[in-house]
Amino acid sequence: MQLSINKTSLEKISSPLLDEKKLTLYVKRDDLIHPTVSGNKWRKLKYNLQEAQKQKHDTLLTFGGAYSNHIYALAAAGKLFGFKTIGIIRGEKTLPLNPVLEFAQKSGMRLYYISRTAYRDKYNPELIGEFKERFGKFYLVPEGGTNMLAVQGCEEIVEEIDIDFDYICCASGTGGTISGIITGLNGKHKALGFSALKGGEFLKDDVGNLVKGYCGKDFDNWDIITDYHFGGYAKSKPELLEFMKQFEKAHKIPLEFIYTGKMLYGLFDLIKKDYFKEGQTIIAVHTGGVR
């Protein structure tokens, strides 16, 4: 399965702070992979879609919140590749639909809402059985697209980087992207994931388990930074929005406040606090997202 994608580039970022700290920063523009299936969402879905085809499924079912980039991307991918799509949405239906759910519905996704209590136990076999009775046979794509096939797809982020570097950073929601990056690094260089979720400490265990499950190895060249969630998933504060505004103005790179804005805010704050050593090169992966 091939998607006509744009080759993603490394864009060097110039700023007085970077000059002062004697650091080099590049942004890997995975947001430019595709207009609607961009960034880490395509990388996570790529091998899942191939597996769904291999198993002769014509329907994809997945989970997400009302502002889920994953719901948006899966709906778009389903339309592109001829899959019917079902989105199990956390919480009650609210009209009018927000832009994410409106796009998903217009792309052919069937939206089905469940309570937040039920959502917390969404992989319960009884609930999955109810979905099969209601919707028929489907290929299950986990929340956020994160599974071993997603890790495989995200490994390719590292393979595409053709310069030497010291750190590679990305935003983290379910941990799939940073897990793929860690396995791709294979113990070389260092990886930082910036949690977009309040209480994101659990990601350290989740990522460790994903990496061990995928390649059978434990690595210690990575960490999850949990200080820049700005109140939790899909929440923001004025200082984050102001940072995004100034960054976009200076570098002509669009950000969104759920993931990439938080990651870059956190990265620049760590730079201010001398987290990195003089002379080091940092790569920040722009994982796309709906603005």
pLDDT of residue 38: 83
pLDDT band at 234 (very low <50, low <70, confident <90, very high): confident
Nearest CA to 41 among 219, 189, 174?
174
Q: Mind listing the pLDDT tens digit for each residue in 188-210?
A: 999 999 999 999 999 999 999 99
In this model, does residue 245 exceed pLDDT 90? yes
- Give yes or no: residues 155 and 261 share one domain: yes
- Give yes or no: residues 139 and 57 share one domain: yes
- Give yes or no: residues 88 and 151 share one domain: no
The CATH number given to whatever domain includes residue 73 is 3.40.50.1100
Structural domain total, the chain? 2
- Mean pLDDT in residue range 30-59: 94
- Mean pLDDT in residue range 156-166: 95
Q: Mind listing the pLDDT tens digit for each residue in 87-104?
A: 999 999 999 999 999 999
Work out the percent of the chain whose per-residue pLDDT is above 70.
97
- Give yes or no: residues 150 and 253 share one domain: yes
Q: Mind listing the pLDDT tens digit for each residue in 96-128?
A: 999 999 999 999 999 999 999 999 999 999 999
In this model, does residue 2 exceed pLDDT 90? no
Range of the domain at 180: 10-38+146-285
Residue by residue, what is the 3-state secondary structure of 70-136? HHHHHHHHHHHHCCEEEEEEECCCCCCCCHHHHHHHHCCEEEEEECHHHHHCCCCHHHHHHHHHHHC
pLDDT band at 3 (very low <50, low <70, confident <90, very high): low
Is pTM, for the whole model, over 0.85?
A: yes
Judged on CB neighbours under 10 Å (0-12, 13-18, 19+), 156 is middle
- Give yes or no: residues 118 and 24 share one domain: no
Alpha-carbon torsion angle 237, 240, 244, 250, nearest 10 = 130
| Phi, psi for residue 15 in degrees, rounded to 5 | -160, 155
